[in-house]
Structure 1
Amino acid sequence: MVRRIFTNVLTAKKCDGYVPYQELESLATIHNMLHEPKGYAHELHRYALSVSRTVAFGKRVTSSSSQFATDIREVMENFSKAMTPGKYLFEAVPMLRKLPRFAQPWLKELEKFKNLELSFALTCYRDAVRQAELHPDRPCMAREVKAEMEKAQEEDEVQASSTCMEILGAGSETTASALHFTILALATHPEVVEKAHQELDRVIGQDRFPTWADEPNLPYIRAIIKENQRWRSISPMSKSGGAEYRYVHDADQEKGFPHYTSKDDVYNGYYIPKNCVVRVNHWYSNPEKFDPDRFIDHTQSAAASANAVDASGRDHFSYGGGKRICPGIHLAERSLFMMTSRMLQTFKFGRPLDPKSGTPRELTVDDVGVSTSLIMTPGSDFDVSFEARSEKIGQLLEREWLEKVAHQDLDDHPQADCFTPPADFSESAASLDGQQEAAQGPSPSSELFTSGSSLLPLTFTGLDGEGPPNYHAPAGLEQNEDNLFLNFGGLSPDWIFSIFDPCSHLDTFSFPADCEILDEPTLPLTAQNSSPNAQEPPVKYSAGQGPHLDNWLLSTAGTNDTQSLVIPQLGGNGDKSLRYGSHFQMPKVVEAQRSQLLDSAQAILERPLWKAVSLANFPSKAKLDHCIDLFFVHFRPPISFIHRPTLNPTTISEVLLLSIVAIGARFSSMPGARIFANSIAELNRRILLVMNEQDPSHRHSEDYLTAQLLQAMHGRASGHRILFGHSRDLRSTLVRHAREAGLFQEPKPRQNAPDDCSATTESRWLDWVATERHRRLGWAIYDLDATVGILHNERPAFSIGDIALSLPDEDACWEAPTAHSWIALRPWQPSHENRIEFRKAARECFYPSSADNLELSDDQHLHIITVTLCRFLWSMKELQGSPLMDAVPEDWPLVNHKRTLLNKLDQFLTCPEAAKANKDDGVLRRIVERLLIIHLCHLFGAGDLMDWLLPLLRAGGQHKESRARMSNWGREDGVRLRQVAYHSAQILALSRSFPFNSPCESFYAFYAGGALWCATVLLGESEPGIGTEACDDEDDSQKFTVLQLDAFHPLEGDDYSKLHHWLCEGGQARVGLFGVPRLGSKDSHVQVLQEALRILQNMRIWELSKAFSEFIRKLITAESGVKK
């Protein structure tokens, strides 16, 4: 709870709210430094302490000699004494702690320190809670701690007060010491001060002080702050152990000091024994030289830098790293920037004059030195001359101080104990407006800090004094990105689950590069604020309130959707009220035009919407039964949502029955089956539209939604123009209707649901079926919408924040033919237990947790996670093509985020040949569907490939702009080009070898054929070594690696290793696939199209393949002409 409270109170967004208090405190501090330069060190401590106290207790510190400052100074001195290494004998001889109390004289002193701190903390906490009620607008961590504890029913004043004191103890001394070293660096490096003044004059001028919103535009000021934290790391020995390693001892995990491992482990080739501290080397070239230019190109904040994939790219390690990184990093960065930038805006930083000679006294870094105990501080006091660097700046400071600070420092001011920000202060003045700190990122994986490129060798120190075995890191040690989930976005993007959404939202995914480093969630993901960058899904706040009503602002009382439409009278019987004329001189409506309006309206309303439908050839009941039977035999969507064992054609609605018959007819061998299927689907489409118009309540019924879903799936692949267009329109309508019906919420137990203890097996089964059918229907609609991105290159209509469903139960239970066969599969498990939450399952992909004990092995669950990642990938592709990207910083890591998603998708790849031998057809079907989605995701993740490829295919390869972009795209990245060729070849191979007549198969084959044609053309144009080698057939084939792009190699085998090497490195290789002996040869681009055409022609159930085939033929004709 302590960690969660910290991260909730100290997120970047929360810290933006503290900026106005930091601005006022910095004005007060700089004014005092100018007028009382001798006491600047005390003033720095007052500033840091006042900011910390404002955040923690809602009160400021007005003077370094105040009672509060004196008391906290004593508490911190005691703490520093107690934590000084080697102070107490039992540290060297631990067994002394087992002596009787009278034989441990140090306990008396330690208990004195403890009691003093506890008494002080309780006094501050209780006072803050009382004041929070009087001043609810002030920041006050104590108020939030109390509320959290009351919510968790774990009220503990001692724990609460200690939690609040952590901000004062950890934040004030470190910030003050960092600022003290900043002044030392500036006073001894006048050339740095001069460059900073030039940047400030250029960007800010001398008419105002810098604000936090100016930070992105002041790179040299940022570099000074980073260099100072590198140059004099305040707590250099705490960047170790639990911060970087997975096993953290519970007793030490929150203290910011080295942590030790709780058990033996082997990690990335290292043997790490129990009771061992892992330290991170944070060394730099020319370490004693203060040189801000080393960070001049480092545009990220310290928070974003700590989340870097390669730890060697980090700026510094002053805040630690990993899970236990300093939670106050955002508050500290704002405090340091506010003071550093404003001191540089104000002062010259001259050396003090010798009182006898009147000449400047010598001041060197070596003379001052350093002192290390709990934290690093300057070794001795030193004086500095603080003079305003210009008369204009001096006047600015006095004016700002008088307007904003002076009147609030008076004792008779109503809120003298806490600053009141100006009324005109806006959030834009505090935030970076989305440029740098707009989104919160997850904690970096521990693997980030064991990169072989930056942190070798590591130093291992055993707590027992014995060194571990000398295990060297393996050559080529690389960071494992599989455990990362970089912040998208999205901020969700829909931002995950908000651990993810994601990326909450990618609508979260558009996280700027400056991802925030915060702790991982420690509570269940269903709890509010379980992660600092996660938020509850919107559906939570509508749960339990019935269907979601989009028109909730509109009164529906007294209305009847089916009543006759009567045009009411407008005004009276005459037009006398209009005798004053018109505002504008326009032609008037004539009576003939009015009559035409009436006639047109009457004719349109009386004319039938459709021509008469002939039902003379409607099939017999035997043929209807035949179609229903074929439906369940052959139509197997990834998520089954119609329960065959309990389906009764005599009791379901007509629209659902017609939907089933239409799809089932497609698999019939009877003559005219395809035309019949489309006709029945068109008939059903009309019936659904009429039902919705006549009685809108139908749209929320389960049968109606199920029929709509089947219509959408059928129309998508039917090859019928009207049905295809209707399926695209129906998708967004279906999502809206399902949301209104509450279909994306977890089903609630029925009021008359049988109790598991007393109910019969039959009643329990039927109750479970009803609930599971609801759940599966929601997931099937989600699947239809989520895949629209890669099938139609369109934005999904569904927001992942609307999902509150658990994952479906296993297929074996769903397909159990009777209640007793169902109960036999789960005799020990009540029907409502052991549900897997979607958000937990999604998070498990990136942060596996032994506490959750989740194992994603069910292919349905893997399919849902796959399409979710696919949906996020498309959202980031959309963001890259938006006008916003022309205005944001160039270092937004969208490409890295896409690569992270693709890497995670690749973890779900498997060899289909192996699955064929070990799985039944139902499981194999899902595996193949998942592989097709993953490979197609790689095409959509290959830059803007799918944005220009589809227009190019539609134009038969003759679209001028797309063709030009195609050539440029191929030259941009050879690795990307080869990977597109590989994933396209894999899709074609899957479509050829494992056809299951699913509705979407033709999409995959068509897109893959087009992408592989493009890649083949570009490989043929590329230089040797980038693509395939242009070698004579008579050459010795042993000189070249022979690769088959469409072969299904086991991912651990040598063949796949060779292929992977070529994909990443290129080189001499003879690459081919089925029907294309040599990719990149002069005929290969036509051979690829011919092979894609053969595959499409073999897809005979869903007629969309015929339409795709026509486009491929058109392209073959055009390309053959080009060849000649």
Structure 2
Amino acid sequence: MSQSTVLIGTLLATLVIWKLVQTWRRPPFPPGPKGRYPFMGMTFDMPSKRPWETFGEWAKQYGPIMYFRTGLQHVIVISDAKVYRELIGMRASIYSDRPPSEVGDLISGGRRSVLMPYGTRWRMVRRIFTNVLTAKKCDGYVPYQELESLATIHNMLHEPKGYAHELHRYALSVARTVAFGKRVPTSSSEFATEMRDVMENFSKAMTPGKYLFEAIPMLRKLPSFAQPWLRELEKFKNFELSFALKCYRDAVRQAELHPDRPCMAREVKAEMEKAQEDDEVQASSTCMEILGAGSETTATALHFTILALATHPEVVEKAHEELDRVIGQDRFPTWADEPNLPYIRAIIKENQRWRSISPMSFPHYTSKDDVYNGYYIPKNCVVRVNHWMMHSNYERYSNPEKFDPERFINHTQSAAASANAVDASERDHFSYGGGKRICPGIHLAERSLFMMTSRMLQTFKFGRPLDPKSGTPRELTAEDIGVSTSLIMTPGSDFDMSFEPRSKNIGQLLESEWLEKVAHQGTRPQCSTCVRRGAACEYPSRLMSPTPGDPSPDSDDHPQADCFTPPADFSEGAASLDGQQEAAQGPSPSSELFTSASSLLPSAFTSLNCEGGSNFSAPTGLEQNGDDLFFNFGGLSPDWIFSLFDPCSHLDTFSMPTDYQMLDEPVLHLAGQNSFPNAQEPSVRYSARQGPHLDNWLLSTAETNCNQSLVIPQLGGDSDRSLKHGSHFQMTKVEESQRSQLLSSAQTILERPLWKAVSLANFPSKAKLDHCIDLFFVNFRPPISFIHRPTLNPTTISEVLLLSIVAIGARFSSMPGAIVFANSIAELNRRILLLMNEQDSSHRYSEDYLTAQLLQTTHGRGSGHRILFRHSRDLRLLLVRHAREAGLFQEPKPRQNAPDESSATTESRWKAWVAAERQRRLGWAIYDLDATVGILHNDRPAFSIGDMALSLPDEDACWEAPTAHSWMALRPWQPSHENRIEFRKAARECFYPSLTDRIQLSDDQHLHVITVTLCRFLWSMKELQGSPLMDAVPEDWPLVNHKRTLLKKLDQFLTCPEAAKANKDDAILRRIVERLLIIHLCHLYGAGDLMDWLLPLLRAGGQHKEARARMSKWGVEDRGRLRQVAYHSAQILALSRSFPFNLPCESLYAFYAGGALWCATVLLGDLEPGTDTEACNDGDESHQVTVLQLDAFHLLDGEDYRKVHYWLCEGGRARVGLFGVPRLGSKESHVQVLKEALRILQNMRIWELSKGFSDFIRKLITAESSIQ
């Protein structure tokens, strides 16, 4: 034997002896099973199903801490709360590591913090989680959770079969809002589908025992071709990382546009930059973890909650009693109610104990040797915690198998406070884990669970579960459902539920809350489940395109509601989800449109050559939403197309030329009054005016000066005798702490700025401003022009008027970023107008201020931007009131001391005429804006027609005359104030022609005013017809006949646009087309209650049950009316297609017409063939039926029009069609009509409102196609 062999043998023997000595000297391992095979430990004896139950049985035999081996791996299982607290909590530095995971490293590149080793990198990621998910931060997420819970419960009520998917959508949407600043509108959206695939891939890959190399790591050293598992794992990895990067990059872009929205991606990016780490993949993986871990666990916990409530009716009864006692049935619980709802809190805690979603903890790993209670725990030992066993401890929980919330009724601590309790016996449950690896989303999860649990209990009865096959209630226990598990525990089998409101009041509350807070946002516009409505809660498409090669993560969802707008404003920023006003407590996420770090104006406007493309930074909240914060349609108010002033005593009038003054009494001479016994004098006749009309004449003139500091005066003395008397009622007294809180809150709110800083670094150059002003006058042609271009001087008009002109003009620019720039300028102007009004209320009655308000309202109407649109609604009401108070609706007349016109120069006469005509036209433009709100938004106008004392505007030729002499040349024989047409007389002349007056309404402006007035009358009759008054009036009250009379009178103003095109210039043709659109739309409003149920039906994707039932009944009530609706809708579509003029409200006409024609098509298809309809079989010969094209423009005295008119009145067999729809009433025509309306809307590109309508039509097409 060689010397070297002896030496080696000696060393080995010494090593073995030393090892044995060390083993003898160290403490023993904890007790535990040994396994059947020597040296193999428990490798072949591990439980394959429900390991926590097997470990629990072993724990009863071996004790609360046990040890075994699987192969060469040491494993410790903890089954006692005290041991858990001591090791995982108190000795976290040893037990916070994770065991090596070859699969985890392959599938995520080692970037998932849940698998990441304890160290510097893990601490960095953990710090990010901790900072973004603090209790205070999570309080800021509560408004989004409230809105999501409303949407979820509403969807569960209407689509109970999809409740499990809806729970996952809720949890995922909350998590995505926090992580990426966007919501998940439907469980079938592309994002939700891809996220589901990521989680399924991860779950498959992490299944214990799936891959051999997990047990034998040496196999990873084989060549790639010898590792067949690599292909699958690489596929999983590539899919996950590409998806994470896509979402992260999109979120970072959106975060720049929405700095006030929650966005973990923004904070992760900042933290990585702070740590000088440039690892975008790590950042994206960090953001994705909150979605995967947070959403699945929350959704599963809620699923188990429903199971518990369905199988324990006594629990539901107690919960309902507590809710009725504390909350009542007139509102939903909020997070602020949580301390007052101990039984609801107990239900949540008991559910997490009863069905812990993590019965076995994720494995911990020891970083060094340790000794506990005399037992040796080696380094690199896997440590598992048996949560299920600790939750089933009979000493800790009596009768642990039973679902009994009473056990936690006195447990008042929050989940986080309980989880960090020093004494383990004070913990409620262990579902959130412990130590340094405790669930970082504990605050968010607690709020999510409370919001859904409390609101589900507030809403639903929770009857017995339903059999998924028969749909009938069945006796069912929780044990019948069982559990299944992969990474987390889930219900073992499916069970259906019937969700019914527990009272009529609750059902009405849910619908009203949903309409007010959810439907008005986007989410989603017609928020109901995607199955029922075939549509997601969505917004108009975003303006900005993603970076080339980096598609948006939700390309199929565009446009959808990115993120709810919480009611606390806010304003995509609110939830309205939309309390959506800018509240004193500070702007909400969406109302905060600008920050000091973000530019107000796109950088594309800063260079004349427009280089740089469209990669500009849009202002916060003003970008066109892609798939985020609900551009919510829904509800009954007009902003479903997306869901303050203190009068002072001093009132200025318009600044008029010195030879003009405001009239002291009405100028209308009503000598013919006696011939109209039903009429009465307008109230304006009796308005004695010393200036503008005063509504505050009853109020004291001693007002608080809004420009001075507000000083609260002293109330009584320090020892006032009235304080010594007793109280009338025995009530709880105000405490000093509450008084201090009032003072603190008032001070904080008043000192907080209303808006963040506005950056004007990219404000456009003078040349670009001039360009926008030029485009305004070229393209913006309202039916009544009210800005006099020949005398307008941009250097002398007010800034607010100039900004209003620039904002509208920019919409017609071809420069990159024009739309966002226009919205930004409009928002800037909105803020300036508000501040001007607050700082000096006299501004509100100046001509420039009112003109700017009018332009701002018009812009907001068609902008397609939620905040501007909502502001336009409120501004319209203020505008009418301010104009009325300023005397704008009364005729100006020359002052008594004004020089005679014969002695005045032509220039001075022209300027005096322009000033008076400008005021007159401004009054009529405001009247037009308000009067058309009835048919455009189905909303009540604010102006009383009796207050209108203006004469009709002068002809356009005089108004547009460029110089005084060209103006004089048009009227050399006529004084500037004579021969005006009085409005009241002209309106009466339509119905009762007078031989003495002989008023000829030939000017298209005058025809427009009369048309709008008749339209206003018609809407008032529609409103009256739907009022309770109609239940009390005689049955023969001729209201319907009056509506028919108005419609016949409107029809007298119809003309053939094709004929007008040949004989009129574009300006006149524009007015003719708009007049025709109004008349045809009036016929839709005159068709019974069509427009009352049509809009809710469209919002619900055609699946609103009540509206659908009313539609069917409406269709058979009057078939002639049905044919009329089809004809007038087709005419509107034809006008929108053939004569588009980029009017702000063009898309409204096309959308209403498309929706009405779709309804008519459905109803025509339901009628029996051969009665008095146009239904014809395919076999009919063309010579046997009349072929009609409803959208053709026929001469009113031609044969073609007579055929159409006969069919409208009498019906009969006819084959009816229109452009793109060969046969109206056929099965295919439902979708064909919608596609034609969609095509027309998509061609309307200047005013973004059309995009929202396009998305609605697109969703309706999807729903209709699926039905066919």
**1:496-895 to 2 correspondence within 5 Å?**
525=670, 531-542=676-687, 544-557=689-702, 560-574=705-719, 577-750=722-895, 753-895=898-1040
Structure 2 CA distance for partners of 1:973 and 1:530, relative to 1, 3 Å = closer
Question: Shift of residue 635 of structure 1?
Answer: 0.2
5+ residue gaps, structure 2, are 1-667
Task: Classify the secondary structure of the residue corresponding to 2:692.
Answer: coil
The answer for the alignment partner of 1:322 in structure 2 is none
User: What's the offset of the Cα at 1:785?
Assistant: 0.3
What does 1:182-197 align with in structure 2 at a 5 Å threshold?
none
Letter aligned with residue 960 of structure 2: E
Q: Structure 1 CA distance, aligned partners of 2:689 and 2:730?
A: 57
8 Å Cα contact 1:1028-1:1070 kept in structure 2: no
Offset at residue 1026 of structure 1 (A): 5.0
Secondary structure of 1:839's aligned partner: helix
TM-fit CA distance, 1:588? 1.0
Say if 1:615 and 1:904 are closer, same or farther in 2 by CA, change over 3 A. same
In 2, distance between residues paired with 1:1025 and 1:704? 61
Equivalent residue number for residue 1089 of structure 2: 944
Flag the 1:587–1:1026 CA change in 2: closer, same or farther, 3 A: farther
Q: Using the alignment, how far apart are the partners of 2:886 and 2:698 within structure 1?
A: 18
Correspondences of 1:1020-1099 after superposition (within 5 Å) = 1020-1026=1165-1171, 1028-1099=1173-1244
**Which whole-Å CA distance do the structure 1 matches of 2:682 and 2:1174 have between them?**
53
- Residue of 1042, 1046, 1050 corresponding to 1:905: 1050
- CA shift at 1:561, angstroms? 3.3
Counterparts of 1:310-329 in structure 2, within 5 Å, are: none
Shift of 1:765: 0.3
Q: Which secondary structure does the structure 2 equivalent of 1:568 belong to?
A: coil
CA–CA separation in structure 2 for the residues paired with 1:904 and 1:966: 28
Contact 1:1028/1:1071 (CA < 8 Å) preserved in 2? no
**Paired residue for 1:185?**
none
The Cα offsets for residues 100-137 of structure 1, whole Å up to 9 and x where unpaired, read as xxxxxxxxxxxxxxxxxxxxxxxxxxxxxxxxxxxxxx
1:971 is aligned to 2:1097: no
- Map of 2:564 onto structure 1: none
User: Following TM superposition, by how much is the alpha carbon of 1:556 offset from its aligned partner in structure 2, in angstroms?
Assistant: 1.2
Correspondence for 2:1074: 929
CA separation of 1:1077/1:700 partners in 2, compared to 1, >3 Å: closer, same or farther?
same
CA contact (8 A) 1:787 1:871 kept: yes
| 2:976 counterpart SS class | coil
* Cα 1:1113–1:1026 shift into 2, 3 Å: farther
> Is the CA contact (8 Å cut-off) linking 1:529 and 1:535 kept in structure 2?
no
Going from structure 1 to structure 2, the CA distance change for 1:543 and 1:867 (only over 3 Å counts) comes to farther
Deviation at 1:579, TM superposition (A): 1.9
Give identity over the alignment, percent: 86
The residue number in structure 1 matching 2:153 is: none
Residue matched to 1:35: none
Asked if the contact 1:1028–1:1079 (Cα under 8 Å) also holds between the matched residues in 2, the reply is no
* Cα distance in 2 for residues equivalent to 1:645 and 1:751: 28
- CA contact 2:808–2:859 (8 Å) conserved in 1: yes
**Cα 1:1034–1:972, aligned 2, differ >3 Å: closer, same or farther?**
closer
Matching residue of 2:1159:
1014
TM-score under structure 1 normalisation?
0.53
Please state whether the residue corresponding to 1:830 is helix, strand or coil.
coil
**How big is each residue's C-alpha offset from its partner over 1:481-534, in whole Å with a ceiling of 9 and x where there is no partner?**
xxxxxxxxxxxxxxxxxxxxxxxxxxxxxxxxxxxxxxxxxx952676563222
Q: In the alignment, is the contact (CA less than 8 A) between 1:659 and 1:684 conserved in 2? A: yes
Work out whether residues 1169 and 1176 of structure 2, in 8 Å CA contact, stay in contact via their aligned partners in 1.
no
Q: In 2, distance between residues paired with 1:616 and 1:752?
A: 51
Shift of 1:820: 0.5
Q: For 2:893, what is the secondary structure of its paired residue? A: coil
Given residue 879 of structure 1, which amino acid in structure 2 is its aligned partner?
A: L
Cα distance change of structure 1 residues 730 and 1122 upon mapping to structure 2, 3 Å threshold:
same
CA separation of 1:530/1:896 partners in 2, compared to 1, >3 Å: closer, same or farther?
A: closer
Matches of 2:669 and 2:854, distance apart in 1: 33
Separation in 1, partners of 2:691, 2:938? 34
1:77-105, CA deviations, whole angstroms, 9 ceiling, x for partnerless residues? xxxxxxxxxxxxxxxxxxxxxxxxxxxxx
Deviation (angstroms), 1:925:
0.1
CA contact (8 A) 2:1175 2:1214 kept: no
Task: Give, in angstroms, the shift of residue 540 of structure 1.
Answer: 1.5
Matches within 5 A, 1:915-926: 915-926=1060-1071
Q: Distance in 2 between matches of 1:673 and 1:690?
A: 26
Distance 1:913 1:588 in 2: 77
**Structure with greater Cα Rg:** 2
For residues 1004 and 1118 of structure 1, the distance between their equivalents in structure 2, rounded to whole angstroms, comes to 22
Q: 1:527 to 1:693 in 2, by over 3 A?
A: farther
1:554 Cα deviation (Å)?
1.2
AA at the equivalent of 1:1017: V
2:1265 match: 1120
Distance 1:708 1:1027, change over 3 A: farther
Which amino acid in structure 2 is aligned with residue 787 of structure 1? T
Deviation at 1:555, TM superposition (A): 2.4
Displacement, 1:535? 1.8
- CA distance in 2 between counterparts of 1:620 and 1:1026 reads 68
**What's the CA shift string for 1:404-453, capped at 9, x where partnerless?**
xxxxxxxxxxxxxxxxxxxxxxxxxxxxxxxxxxxxxxxxxxxxxxxxxx
1:443-458 equivalences under 5 Å are: none
Post-superposition Cα deviations, 1:791-830, rounded to whole Å, max 9, x if no partner, equal 1101110001100000000000000000010000000001
CA contact (8 A) 1:1076 1:1087 kept: yes
Letter in 2 for 1:722: I
Alignment-mate amino acid for residue 1007 of structure 2: L
RMSD: 1.4
CA contact under 8 A between 2:1167 and 2:1175: conserved in structure 1?
no
Cα offset for 1:669? Answer: 0.4
- 1:645, 1:817 within 8 Å by CA — same for their partners in 2? yes
**What are the residue-to-residue correspondences of 1:113-512 with 2, within 5 Å?**
none
Q: What do residues 166-210 of structure 1 show as CA deviations (whole Å, max 9, x unaligned)?
A: xxxxxxxxxxxxxxxxxxxxxxxxxxxxxxxxxxxxxxxxxxxxx
Letter of the 1:648 partner, please give it: N
Offset at residue 545 of structure 1 (A): 2.9
Deviation at 1:558, TM superposition (A): 6.5
**CA distance change for structure 1 residues 1095 and 574 in 2, over 3 Å: closer, same or farther?**
same
Contact 1:653 1:703 in 2 (8 A): yes
Which whole-Å deviations, capped at 9, do the CAs of 1:346-401 have from their partners, x for residues lacking one?
xxxxxxxxxxxxxxxxxxxxxxxxxxxxxxxxxxxxxxxxxxxxxxxxxxxxxxxx
Quote how far apart the aligned CAs of 1:1006 are. Answer: 0.3
Structure 1 letter corresponding to 2:725:
Y
Aligned partner of 1:243 in structure 2 is none
- Whole-angstrom distance in 1 between the partners of 2:1230 and 2:1258: 13
Residues in 1 aligned to 2:1062 and 2:781: alpha-carbon distance in whole angstroms? 20
Amino acid at match of 1:582: S
Structure 1 residue 749, shift from structure 2 partner: 1.7
Contact in 2 for aligned 1:543/1:745 (Cα 8 Å): no
Match runs of 1:103-122 below 5 Å: none
